[in-house]
């Protein structure tokens, strides 16, 4: 049994991870900027005795520090911390047309938020001489460029560097910092701005949040050392799926782009 904290845990991948941990007997704190989303998440979990919620904006260090304090109080110890909070633009336009406020929000949430959370929880984990931090990657983390995603991809390109740098600093501390790659997940973040062409690709490569959680959680619990990269959608797997694309026709979306499944299941 482990104690887990997940930022951006009120929906999508974060909530799916929380539910999977809880199903294995673990205790989880989830955070979100939205009290409404936290309430909905709480109501969607069967065993609420193992779930705690906390409102926190990861772009505010004071809020993150309070989240760490609260988590330590209710859990006793923090075994796994998952930096999952992330946002993207609703309009994937060329950078010259990007809204300045949108750029700021993406960078502050995805990158600054990850750094803030990591900085806030590290003293606790170092003092425990144990614990794991997982940072969630995304499009662009491998250096591949996709038009219209520059701010988001730039923040995600930095994610593997955090684990690499902290592994050097935390040698012999008992604390591991890792990167987790969920691949292409059918969430609001992915579907924003999508069209029929991209939805055909989603049919081939994407998965429900629950499927991703089933893969990631056991590996998060068992991984040792530091700077490990847990990837759901490897290049080999993606290539095989494209070669057998006929198997995935209308898996999630029909030819008109209509959703055919319940993504919350």
Quote the pLDDT of residue 261: 83
CB atoms within 10 A of CB 239: 10
> For the chain, which ranges sit under pLDDT 70?
265
Over its C-alpha atoms, the chain yields an Rg (Å, rounded) of 18
Residue 153 inside a domain? The answer is yes
Residue 176 inside a domain? The answer is yes
Quote the pLDDT of residue 13: 96
Quote the pLDDT of residue 56: 98
Residue 244 inside a domain? The answer is no
Contact indicator for 75, 69 with CB cutoff of 8 Å: no
Residue 197 inside a domain? The answer is no
Quote the pLDDT of residue 82: 98
Which one of the listed residues 98, 152, 229, 248 is annotated catalytic?
A: 152
| Domains identified in the chain, total number | 1
Quote the pLDDT of residue 192: 73
Instruction: Kindly give, in sequence order, each residue whose CB lies less than 8 Å from that of residue 211, ignoring residues fewer than 6 positions away.
Output: none
Quote the pLDDT of residue 179: 98
Taken in order 120, 21, 74, 13, is the CA torsion positive or negative? positive
CATH (domain of 87):
3.40.50.720
Instruction: Kindly give, in sequence order, each residue whose CB lies less than 8 Å from that of residue 178, ignoring residues fewer than 6 positions away.
Output: 132, 133, 134, 135, 163, 220, 223, 226, 227, 228, 229, 230
Residue 19 inside a domain? The answer is yes
Residue 251 inside a domain? The answer is no
Domain span at residue 147 reads 3-187+207-234
Residue 196 inside a domain? The answer is no
Residue 213 inside a domain? The answer is yes
Clarify whether 248 is annotated catalytic.
Answer: no
């Amino acid at each position: 049994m482990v104690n887990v904290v997940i930022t951006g845990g009120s929906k999508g991948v974060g909530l799916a991870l929380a539910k999977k941990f809880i199903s294995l007997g673990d205790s989880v704190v989830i955070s979100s900027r939205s009290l409404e989303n936290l309430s909905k998440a709480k109501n969607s979990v069967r065993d609420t005795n193992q779930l705690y919620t906390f409102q926190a904006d990861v772009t505010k260090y004071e809020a993150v520090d309070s989240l760490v304090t609260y988590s330590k109080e209710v859990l006793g110890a923090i075994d796994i911390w998952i930096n999952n909070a992330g946002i993207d633009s609703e309009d994937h336009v060329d950078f010259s047309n990007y809204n300045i406020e949108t750029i700021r929000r993406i960078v502050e949430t995805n990158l600054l938020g990850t750094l803030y959370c990591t900085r806030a929880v590290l003293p606790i984990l170092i003092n425990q001489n144990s614990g794991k931090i997982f940072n969630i990657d995304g499009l662009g983390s491998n250096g591949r460029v996709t038009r219209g995603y520059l701010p988001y991809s730039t923040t995600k390109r930095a994610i593997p560097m955090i684990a690499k740098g902290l592994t050097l600093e935390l040698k012999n501390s008992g604390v591991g910092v890792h990167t987790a790659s969920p691949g292409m997940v059918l969430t609001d973040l992915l579907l924003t701005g999508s069209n029929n062409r991209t939805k055909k690709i989603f049919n081939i490569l994407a998965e429900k949040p629950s499927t991703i959680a089933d893969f990631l959680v056991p590996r998060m619990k068992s991984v040792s050392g530091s700077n490990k990269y847990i990837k759901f959608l490897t290049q080999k797997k993606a290539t095989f799926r494209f070669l057998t694309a006929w198997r995935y026709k209308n898996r999630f979306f029909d030819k008109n782009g209509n959703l055919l499944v319940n993504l919350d299941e």
